Structure 1
Amino acid sequence: MKKKVAFVCVHNSCRSQMAEAWAKHLGKDVLEVYSAGTEEYPEVKPKAVQVMEEAGIDMSDHYPKLLTEIPQDIDILVTMGCGVSCPYMPCNHKEDWGLEDPSGGPIEDFRKTRDIIKKKVEHLIERVKRREL
């Protein structure tokens, strides 16, 4: 049975979207993946879409979602490190990845964030496969 994981940030426009895309790409055999934010935002950051495209992952159809738009019965809740104060979401495991937001910075900051998120998603998938989560 797949574990439901939600990546949560304030706007769901950059880091949580990249995490969702990596997790769907790398963990489709063990994860059911969602991302959401605590505040509305008009679009996924174009630089986030661009750097994921460079890595071979298409996020052109992604859009920011609110917490109310994803399932509430999550197994794993991952916050991105934005000091986000999330409403209560029942989950079996919660962790914060402490990632700085590259928004407003150069494209290289987005690439670094993309690569850090990939490593963190790979580690999360390994822990799920080992039944640690």
Structure 2
Amino acid sequence: MTTFDLDEYVLAGLRAGASGFLLKDALADDLISAVRVVAAGEAVAAPSVTRRLIAHYLGSSPSRAAAADRLAALTTREREVLALVTHGLSNAEIAAALFVSESTVKTHVGRVLGKLGLRDRVQAVIVGYECGLAPR
């Protein structure tokens, strides 16, 4: 949690291994929710930071074709799950959309992270954007 809404602080925190980044003006309920999300192994970023973070990574990213090559290791279902993660869906929402259990979605997300060498969902969303799985 920080008072500084500056990209360099966000990037430094993520590089240092942070799985969450909230601003000081976050509501108490949002803070409690964020702590629970991070404790469950997911990642959280303040909404005002998310778009800039993605734009930063897209601006310094390889070509879309090169990024899409990374997806070759994924199964069709894992690519579907990554696309839905990229669109901001929760595990429960993905499960409903694909008619599978939430634990199955968690397994797919874990495999996507492992195969692509990613730390968390934030990095997965960035890869999804780089690969064209979400509109810019």
Q: Same fold (TM over 0.5)?
A: no
Q: Going by fraction, where is strand more abundant, 1 or 2?
A: 1
TM-score, length-normalised on structure 2?
0.29
Q: Please say which structure displays the higher CA radius of gyration.
A: 2
TM-score, length-normalised on structure 1?
0.29
Higher relative contact order (CA 8 A, sep 6+): 1
